[in-house]
Amino acid sequence: MPASICGAWELISNVNFEGYMVALGIGPYLRKIALKLKLRKVIEQHGDQYVIKTVSPFRNYTFSFKLNQEFEEFTQGLDNRHVKSLVTWEGNKLVCVQTGEKKNRGWTHWIEDDKLHLELYCEGELCRQVFKKK
């Protein structure tokens, strides 16, 4: 059984968020705001249904999905693209592939040493975020 990613988490480290946002085509003004945000994750699970909320004082982003089932995702308030997203468990990692205009795009969540890890990737840029439990 994979370690639970559920709960409220706060960002403690954020490497190459800038590069990830550039890859998504986010302009310099929004990037500057986004880089300063104290991001939080609030993750809920009900059976195969997950809700991941990325919360900040500036903007929130909520993504709901069922495991192993491809979904239409609209990244509203982020890069505002429509992608097809598929989330699966691969070992202890929750893996999302986002198929669309941007190549090699997705994210991976896992738990390590009581921390929530997130890798966000897009077209060769990799952002590594770590969250601690609130």
- Shortest Å distance, C-beta 34 to ligand VL7: 4
- Shortest Å distance, C-beta 64 to ligand VL7: 9
Site string for ligand VL7, 2-41 (x = CB under 6 A): -------------------x--x-x---x---x----x-x
Cβ atoms of residues 39 and 54 within 8 Å: yes
> Interface residues for ligand VL7 in 100-129 (CB under 6 A)?
107, 118, 120
Residues contacting residue 27 through CB under 8 Å, at least 6 positions apart: none
Does position 86 bind ligand VL7 by CB under 6 A?
Answer: no
Cβ atoms of residues 82 and 72 within 8 Å: yes
Using the rule CB under 6 A, which residue among 50, 54, 110, 122 binds ligand VL7? 54
Using the rule CB under 6 A, which residue among 49, 60, 88, 92 binds ligand VL7? 60
Tokens of 22: 């550039």
Residue nearer to ligand VL7 on the CB measure, 63 or 110: 63
Rounded CA-CA distance 95/115 in Å is 17
Cβ density class 26-46: b for 16+ within 10 Å, e for less: beeeeeeebeebebbbbbeee
Coil, helix or strand at residue 29: helix
Residues that bind ligand VL7 (CB under 6 A): 21, 24, 26, 30, 34, 39, 41, 52, 54, 56, 58-61, 63, 78-79, 107, 118, 120
